[in-house]
Chains A and B, each alone.
Chain A
Amino acid sequence: MEIRYWNKDIETADIKSIRSLQLQRLKAIIASALQTPFYKKKLPSVGINSPDDIKSLDDLRRIPLTSKDDLRQNYPKGFLAVDTSEVVRIHTSSGTTGVPTVIYLSAKDLDAATDIMARSIYATGTTKNDILQNMMSYGLFTGGLCMHYGAERVGMMVIPAAGGNTKRQVQLMKDFRTTVLHITPSYLLHVRSKLDEYGVNVGDLALKKAFVGAEPHSENTRKKIEGLFNIDAYNSYGLSEMNGPGVAFECVHKNDLHIWEDAYIAEIINPKTGEILPDGSEGELILTNLIRHAMPLLRYHTRDLAFLHTDPCPCKRTHRRLSRILGRTDDMLIINGVNVFPSQIEEVVMRIPEVGTNYQIYVEKEGALDRLVVKVELYSKIFLGEAKQIDNLKTKIADELRASITITPVIELHEPGMLPVFEGKAVRVVDNRPKL
Chain B
Amino acid sequence: MAKQLHIFVENSPGRLKAITENLSKIDIDIRAFAIQDRGDFGLMKLIVNDPEKAHLSLADLGCACALKDVLAISVPDSPGNLHRLLTALAANKINIIDAHGFVLQPNKLGVCILEIENLAQTNAEKIVKDAGFEILDDAQLYSL
Contact = CB atoms under 8 A, between A and B. Distances in A.
Nearest to A388: B97
B15 interface: yes
A415 B97 contact: no
A416 B8 CA distance: 9
Q: By CB atoms of chain A within 10 A, which of B9, B40, B43, B64 has the most?
A: B64
Given A390-B8, A415-B8, A415-B15, A383 B65 contact: yes
Nearest to B5: A385
A391 B9 CA distance: 14
A415 B64 contact: yes
Contacts of B40: 412-413
Interface residues of A, number: 18
Nearest to A413: B41
B68 interface: yes
Contacts of B38: 387, 390-391
A378 interface: yes
Nearest to A410: B40
Contact of B8 (A378, A412, A417): A378
A385 B46 CA distance: 12
B86 interface: no
A200 interface: no
A354 to B, nearest CB: 10
A383 B8 contact: yes
B44 to A, nearest CB: 11
B64 A383 contact: yes
Interface string B67-82: 1100000000000000
B67 A385 contact: yes
A1 interface: no
Given A413-B10, A415-B9, A390 B41 contact: yes
Interface of B: 6, 8-10, 15, 36, 38, 40-41, 43, 59, 62-68, 97-98
Given A378-B8, A378-B64, 11 more contacts: A380-B63, A385-B66, A385-B68, A388-B97, A390-B8, A413-B10, A413-B40, A415-B10, A415-B15, A415-B64, A416-B64
9 contacts: A380-B64, A380-B65, A383-B6, A385-B6, A385-B67, A386-B43, A390-B41, A413-B10, A415-B15
